């Protein structure tokens, strides 16, 4: 009887390890390029970028947090309380604002739960949003530009010069050369930013603990 239990335990362990390896292999080659999602509200980044609204104005937490926030209804109404209030496309936003019902967004970029990625770390290293997200400011409908495979991330860490786009004005990432960096805070008409140093591109860590919990 003990022999039977031992065999069942051994087979179960082998099966579990096999499943784990299949999942890890799948995520290594995972490719979600061109993935998109139909959102509950219509929003064009291209239309908004015409007015020089920076990425960090709406996704302000990306500069100081691990995650990049999606704008709340209140964020939208900062501008739209006085602009385009009668637009058909804005009705769901106004309704959300008046009813206090939160807008729901569907994820396009979705990393596995065991992967850690810090937006603030990359932004404060002088890496533009477009490096990973593509030129969203030119998109009417947002879609996934880069694949999320482990292989792609490792390749970018090893050879960043192949992928990294320097900070652009539309992103809202303020940078200064080392010789000009001070503790002075730069004020814009909408937000204030501390200047970040432009860092020379160099390979980043590929240790497991860099990206995995």
pLDDT in tens, 130-171: 999 999 999 999 999 998 888 899 999 999 999 999 888 899
Count of domains in the chain?
A: 1
Helix then strand then coil, in percent of the chain rounded to 5, is 45, 5, 50
| pLDDT tens for each residue of 71-82 | 999 999 999 988
3-class DSSP state of 197: strand
Distance CA 29, CA 150 (A): 7
Q: Which sign does the torsion angle of CA 111, 212, 30, 25 carry? A: negative
- Residues 41, 103 contacting (CB under 8 angstroms): yes
104/36 Cα distance (integer angstroms): 15
Mean pLDDT for the chain? Answer: 81
CA pair distance 161, 159, nearest whole angstrom: 6
Residue, of 10 and 180, whose pLDDT is higher: 10
pLDDT band at residue 128 using 50, 70 and 90 as cut-offs? very high
What residues pair up with 143 in beta bridges, in sequence order? 36
Q: Do residues 174 and 193 touch, judged by C-beta distance below 8 A?
A: yes
- CA dist 48 → 51, 54, 56, 91, 103 (Å): 6, 9, 13, 17, 19
- Domain of residue 116 covers 2-211
pTM: 0.73
- Contact (Cβ atoms closer than 8 angstroms) between residue 142 and residue 132: no
């Amino acid at each position: 009887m003990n022999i039977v239990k031992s065999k069942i335990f051994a087979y179960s362990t082998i099966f579990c390890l096999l499943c784990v390896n299949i999942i890890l292999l799948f995520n290594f080659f995972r490719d979600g390029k061109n993935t998109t999602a139909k959102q509950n509200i219509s929003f064009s980044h291209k239309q908004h970028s015409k007015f020089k609204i920076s990425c960090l104005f709406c996704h302000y937490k990306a500069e100081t947090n691990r995650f990049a926030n999606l704008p709340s209804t209140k964020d939208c109404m900062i501008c739209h309380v006085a602009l385009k209030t009668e637009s058909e496309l804005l009705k769901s936003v106004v309704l959300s604002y008046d009813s206090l019902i939160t807008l729901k967004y569907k994820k396009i970029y979705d990393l596995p739960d065991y992967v850690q990625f810090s937006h603030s770390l990359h932004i404060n290293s002088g890496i533009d949003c477009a490096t990973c997200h593509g030129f969203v400011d030119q998109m009417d409908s947002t879609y996934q530009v880069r694949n999320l495979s482990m292989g792609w991330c490792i390749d970018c860490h090893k050879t960043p010069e192949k992928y990294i786009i320097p900070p652009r004005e539309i992103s809202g990432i303020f940078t200064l050369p080392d010789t000009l960096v001070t503790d002075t805070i730069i004020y814009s008409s909408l937000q204030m930013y501390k200047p970040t140093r432009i860092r020379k591109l160099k390979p980043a860590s590929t240790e497991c603990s860099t990206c995995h919990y």
